[in-house]
Amino acid sequence: MVKVGDTLPDLDVLVESSPGNKVNLAKELKGKGLVIGVPAAFSPSCSETHVPGYIKHKALKDAGDVFVVAVNDPFVTKAWGLTLDPDQKSGVRFLGDPSGKFTEALDLAFDGTAIFGGNRSKRYALVIEDGKVKEAHVEPDNTGLNVSKAEKVLG
C-alpha cells in the first residue's frame, strides 16, 4: 500500500472530461497538492460528505492542486464534478481511472464486485509535496469515512 515517501505513479492512465485528455499526476503535481481517492462517483458517502467536505473547507486554497480520482470513466467523473461544484470555483479537478491502473499502482484497489460491479479504489487522501507522499490517509475498511475526511486532512 502507498506510504509516506513514495512517489506518485508515472502513468498516463487518468483521464479528465474525455478519454483523450490524459493526466499524469506524477508530472502534474510538482509542488503541493492533494489526491483524494473514492470508491465510486455518485455514491452516497462520496457525494454527500467526503468530496463536498473538501470543496467547502476553508483551508482548500492552501492545499495546492487538488484532484479527485475515481475508478470510473471520464464522462461519469465530469458529470459528477459538475454536480458537486457546478461553478467550478473550488479548483478541484475530477479524474477518471477507467482501467483502475493508477489505483492498482498505489496498491489501493479492492474487490468491490458485490456493490460496485468490479474492482474499486479504497477511500483515501494523499497529501503530496514535490511529487512525493507527505501524508497518507487511507480508510482501513476500504470505504468508511473517518481518517480521510477533509477535517482530518486539512485541519
Q: Which of 41, 46, 71, 127 is catalytic?
A: 46
Q: Is 46 considered catalytic here? A: yes
- Phi first, then psi: what are they for 47, rounded to 5°? -85, -30
- Phi first, then psi: what are they for 16, rounded to 5°? -125, 115
CA-atom Rg of the chain in angstroms: 14
* Coil, helix or strand at residue 63: helix
Whole-angstrom distance between the N-terminal and C-terminal Cα of the chain?
Answer: 24
Integer CA distances (angstroms), 36 to 91, 114, 152, in order? 13, 23, 13
User: Catalytic residue positions?
Assistant: 46
